[in-house]
């Protein structure tokens, strides 16, 4: 039997690393796709490369798309990243780190790669904690994207093939994501979830992404193996660097 191919969006954070491990565990030949989109910190791509190198994936494609031209987000523009938001208030509005139409742009580029590879499965690590805040992290959005994709592509139109947008984390808490990833052997020490890392790629520990991640590890009864700023120099380097 031929191994089916999947395109997996890989940012280098804990969610996308877990998603890639789930796609591999499900038997797919994984083609990871990352973006050099004008993110303020190159550390994000370095993390994606570390994660890709740690998993048995087929290849890792890095695609340039300059979202700074669109602007409007703290992730690409010189806007402040919110820090130390009370946990109870994270996710109750669309945050400053929202990039306009980002998942749509990233999934569209993944669809283009999938069509060229003859892959019909796309994986994205959207999850439950995100979708109350980001419109493009909700199940009904992904269903609408899949319906559009079937009409957009040669494979959909000529061969009646459907594309499946897999969101294996969609209903999991951060704790459940971590437990699932640990069971699959994901090395979270090399992932970078932070919205505002130092120039060296060390997580800040105070942005909403860091706060949710740290809470997830606490709830799982585990220590987060990643490096955080201000936790002592012995933990400021990624293993192997």
42 binds a second copy (CB under 8 A): no
Applying CB under 8 A, which of residues 58, 79, 96, 113 lies at the interface with a second copy? Answer: 113
What whole-number distance in Å separates Cα of residue 192 and Cα of residue 189?
8
DSSP symbol at 33: E
78 binds a second copy (CB under 8 A): no
Angle among Cα 9, 134, 16 to the nearest 5 degrees reads 25
65 binds a second copy (CB under 8 A): yes
- Nearer Cβ to a second copy (59/84): 59
Total binding residues for a second copy by CB under 8 A?
Answer: 45
> Phi and psi (nearest 5°) for 184?
-95, 0
96 binds a second copy (CB under 8 A): no
- Nearer Cβ to a second copy (87/144): 144
- Nearer Cβ to a second copy (111/194): 111
* DSSP characters over 84-116: S--GGGTTSS--TTPPTTHHHHHHHHHHHHHHH
- Nearer Cβ to a second copy (42/183): 42
72 binds a second copy (CB under 8 A): yes
Q: How far apart are the two ends of the chain, measured CA to CA in Å?
A: 39
**Among the residue ranges 21-29, 43-51, 84-92, 113-121, the one whose residues contact a second copy (CB under 8 A):** 113-121
Question: What's the token pair of residue 198?
Answer: 């130092």
Q: For residue 240, give every residue at least 6 positions away whose Cβ sits within 8 Å of its Cβ, in sequence order, or none.
A: none
> Residue 135 CB, nearest distance to a second copy (Å)?
4
Subset of residues 116 to 175 that bind a second copy, contact rule: CB under 8 A: 116, 135-136, 138, 140-141, 144-145, 147-149, 151-154, 156-158
Using DSSP, state whether 66 is helix, strand or coil: coil
Question: What's the token pair of residue 112?
Answer: 């283009």
Q: For residue 11, give every residue at least 6 positions away whose Cβ sits within 8 Å of its Cβ, in sequence order, or none.
A: 34, 44, 47, 48, 125
Query: Which residues here bind a second copy, judged by CB under 8 A?
Result: 61-67, 69-72, 94, 98-105, 107-109, 111-113, 115-116, 135-136, 138, 140-141, 144-145, 147-149, 151-154, 156-158
């Amino acid at each position: 039997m031929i191994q089916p191919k999947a395109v997996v969006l890989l940012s280098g954070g804990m969610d996308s690393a877990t998603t890639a491990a789930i796609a591999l565990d499900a038997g797919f030949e994984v083609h990871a796709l990352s973006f050099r989109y004008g993110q303020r910190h190159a550390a994000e791509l370095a993390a994606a490369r570390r994660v890709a190198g740690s998993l048995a994936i087929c290849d890792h494609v890095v695609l340039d798309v300059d979202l700074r031209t669109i602007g409007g987000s703290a992730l690409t523009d010189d806007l402040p990243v919110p820090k130390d938001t009370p946990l109870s208030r994270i996710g109750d509005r669309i945050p400053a780190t929202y990039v306009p139409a980002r998942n749509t742009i990233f999934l569209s580029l993944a669809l283009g790669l999938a069509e060229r590879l003859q892959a019909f499965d796309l994986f994205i690590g959207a999850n439950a904690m995100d979708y109350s805040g980001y419109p493009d992290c909700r199940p009904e959005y992904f269903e609408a994207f899949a319906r559009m994709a079937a009409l957009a592509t040669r494979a959909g139109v000529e061969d009646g093939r459907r594309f499946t947008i897999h969101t294996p984390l969609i209903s999991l808490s951060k704790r459940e994501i971590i437990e699932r990833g640990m069971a699959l052997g994901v090395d979270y020490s090399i992932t970078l979830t932070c919205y505002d890392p130092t120039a060296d790629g060390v997580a800040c520990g105070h942005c909403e992404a860091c706060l949710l991640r740290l809470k997830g590890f606490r709830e799982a009864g585990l220590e987060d193996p990643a490096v955080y700023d201000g936790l002592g120099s012995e933990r400021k380097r990624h293993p192997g660097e």
